Amino acid sequence: MIQFHIKSPDRTIEAAIREKIDNLTKPKGSLGRLEEFATKICLIQQTLTPELRRPHNVLFAADHGILEEGVSVSPKEVTWQQLSHFSKGGAGINFLCDQHGFRLVLVDAGVDYDIPHGHGIIDMKVRKGTRNFLHEGAMTEEEFDTCLERGAEVVADIATATGCNIISFGEMGSGNTSPSAMWMHLFTGIDLRKCIGAGAGLDNDGIRHKYDVLRKALENYAGADTDRAKMAWFGGYEMAMAVGGMLKAAELGMTVIVDGFIMTSVILAASRLYPEVMDYAIFGHQGDESGHKLMLEAMGARALLHLDLRLGEGSGAVCAYPIIESAVRMINHMDSFQSVNVTKYF
């Protein structure tokens, strides 16, 4: 298995960061969570003058065998159709990336379709969709390792080619709230029923059926009692590649903006392998999928936005970027009391 070398940021600089923020021309703490984000990014970059360079949103796409059990209203062909749509522009993530200056990187991690070359989609396909984890492992542990390696490769290439130091991840894969719910349950201990939501639009009967299928899948688990084995058995290729991408980003000292329910389950899984990855994460938004709030709470995380989004694709993370940028502008561009001869008034 690929090894990552992720170090928690040196906190020696933290007192100097706090002093700088507290001496900006404002009441102490008055810029709230902007001060929190500025501190985190300063720690990641080990500087009092951080900068955000060339933001990217990496979108991994793959299909899921569990879709055969009717756990989603979204048919399988939507995965490749939407991936093609993203490559042409005009989808939700396209306008958001355009608005906020992100480069969108599209990766075929395991779409059940032969996507023609020449559309700007990186071919990292492991297989045409995972297996049905109701009956067998969604992927082998060797395939899981391949996903980690390929996700890491995508991020390393971006960092080398562009100097990007802040990155978000999105996904496309019909039915992928089911593997995300399984990872949430397995790695938080939250009751499975509370981890399951409507996904792309299931009604109450559909949610009950989804629960029955996932409960049976859990009962049928025949893998090893390790986190890695469980990730492989119940995961998705796009999710596993995002794990590798997040871990490589942390290793390279990049800030990771975490998207919604599915990407939160991904960084949860990543943190089971390397807990230090959390030191590099900012949670962009709390989505509308019912289990997302519970998962964030279990992780001790608080999202930046709550806009009732449930689109995926990295949309919530990209929406959060301007606020993160404001935090960096605050620490870099606000005057200090001393520099402008204003009496400190708190």
Share of the chain above pLDDT 90, in %: 89
DSSP sequence for 59-108: EEEE--GGGGGS--SS-THHHHHHHHHHHHS-SHHHHHHHHHTPEEEEEE
Q: In what order do the strands lie in the sheet with 255-258?
A: 121-123, 103-110, 56-62, 166-172, 255-258, 281-283
Q: Is a pLDDT exceeding 70 seen at residue 47?
A: yes
The residues facing 258 across adjacent strands are 283
CB of 250 closer than 8 Å to CB of 6: yes
Q: What are the angstrom distances between the C-alpha of 266 and each of 48, 126, 208? A: 30, 18, 24
Structure tokens, 103 = 């480069």
Task: Kindly report, residue by residue over 143-192, the tens digit of the pLDDT.
Answer: 999 999 999 999 999 999 999 999 999 999 999 999 999 999 999 999 99
Per-residue confidence at 277, pLDDT binned at 50, 70, 90? very high
pLDDT given at position 289: 80
Type of residue found at 148: L
Q: Check whether 344 has a pLDDT greater than 80.
A: no
Secondary element (H or E) of residue 258: strand 255-258
What pTM, to 2 d.p., does this model score? 0.96
How far apart (Å, rounded) are the C-alpha atoms in residues 208 and 123? 36
Q: Looking at the DSSP assignment, which residues form a beta bridge with residue 121?
A: 106
Closest by Cα among 279, 295, 341 to 14: 279
pLDDT confidence of residue 118: 81
- Take residue 207 and report the two structure tokens written for it: 């949610």
Which among 143, 171, 289, 313 is annotated as catalytic? 313
47 vs 39: CA distance, rounded Å: 10
Is 313 designated active site? yes
* pLDDT tens per residue, range 259-269: 999 999 999 99
